Amino acid sequence: MIKVLVNGAKGKMGVTVLQALRQESDMEIVGDAEIYDKLEDAIQLAHPDVVVDFTRPQSVYENTKTILQNNCHAVIGTTGLTPQNLKEIAELAQSKQKCALVCPNFSISAVLMMLYAEKIAKYMSSVEIIEMHHAQKIDAPSGTSLKTAEMIAKINPDINNPQFKPATSQHSFIHHNIPIHSVRLPGLLAHQEVIFGDAGQTLIIRQDSLSRESFMPGVMLGIRKAIHLQGLVYGLENILD
Residues designated catalytic:
133, 137
Which H, E and C letters describe the chain, residue by residue? Answer: CEEEEEECCCCHHHHHHHHHHCCCCCEEEEEEECCCCCHHHHHHHHCCCEEEECCCCCCHHHHHHHHHHCCCEEEECCCCCCHHHHHHHHHHHHHHCCEEEECCCCCHHHHHHHHHHHHHCCCCCEEEEEEEECCCCCCCCCHHHHHHHHHHHHHCCCCCCCCCCCCCCCCEEEECCEEEEEEECCCCCEEEEEEEEECCEEEEEEEEECCHHHHHHHHHHHHHHHCCCCEEEECHHHCCC
